Amino acid sequence: MELNLQDKVYIVTCGGSGIGGAITRHLADEKATVVIIGRSPLNDVFIKDLNRRDARYSFINLI
């Protein structure tokens, strides 16, 4: 299903794992720009997955 999320910016809290990670991946697949906010750094596997999807993202660490 095409959701027309391209060229829009979304903020996802706890976006590096669990449900937030799944939302981040889905938004990346839809070519949205994602701002990920979390307390823990993104792990290497997650970063590689986002890069493989050609994702546009930024990470903000709350610590």
Asked whether residue 3 is domain-assigned, the answer is: no
Give the pLDDT of residue 3.
79
pLDDT one-digit tens code per residue, 19-52: 999 999 999 999 999 999 999 999 999 999 999 9
**Cβ neighbours, 10 Å, residue 23:** 17
Domain of 21, CATH number, reads 3.40.50.1100
**Cβ neighbours, 10 Å, residue 8:** 13
| CB contact at 8 A, 36 and 24 | yes
The model's pTM = 0.89
Asked whether residue 57 is domain-assigned, the answer is: yes
Asked whether residue 28 is domain-assigned, the answer is: yes
Give the pLDDT of residue 1.
65
Beta bridge partner(s), residue 53: none
**Cβ neighbours, 10 Å, residue 57:** 20
What is the arithmetic mean of pLDDT over 45-62? 96
